[in-house]
Amino acid sequence: MKNLIYIIVCAIGILGCSNQKAPDIQFVFVKIPEQIMPLERGAKYEDPLDAILKKEKVGEVAGGGTQMSDQDKDGKRTIEWIGIDVDLTDFKRGLPILKSGLIKLGVPEGTILEYTRDGKDHSEKVKER
């Protein structure tokens, strides 16, 4: 998405863009098995993780979400897990920084990173036993 925005901005001349290629972005989905509300998710994980990634110049948090259960017999739904969307601009350096940042922020066991690299889907635990 950022590449597309960069191309459009350059094409219409809003910025003085060079012929440099926009950075390759590697999307990583962080699946956290924790039942917290969106504002708490932002304060606990998204905002501090975004600061870590930006400080190290390896990427940023692009968003987040909440997976809700199906309705129970009373019509109520509960949070099953939360997710964080991360865009890494330097995958090789960024993935270990992402993992250590998540551990530092106290993610629970079972937290998983999901991404596609060279046409292959990857899923790896943040914490190894």
Give pTM, 2 decimals: 0.79
- Contact between 84 and 49 under an 8 Å Cβ cutoff? The reply is yes
For the chain, the straight-line distance linking the first and the last C-alpha, in angstroms and rounded, comes to 36
Residue spans per domain, the chain: 24-125
pLDDT tens digit string along 95-112? Answer: 999 999 999 999 999 999
Residue 34's φ and ψ, nearest 5 degrees, are: -140, 140
| CATH of span 24-125 | 3.30.70
pLDDT tens digit string along 37-93? Answer: 889 999 999 999 999 999 999 999 999 999 988 888 998 988 899 999 999 999 999
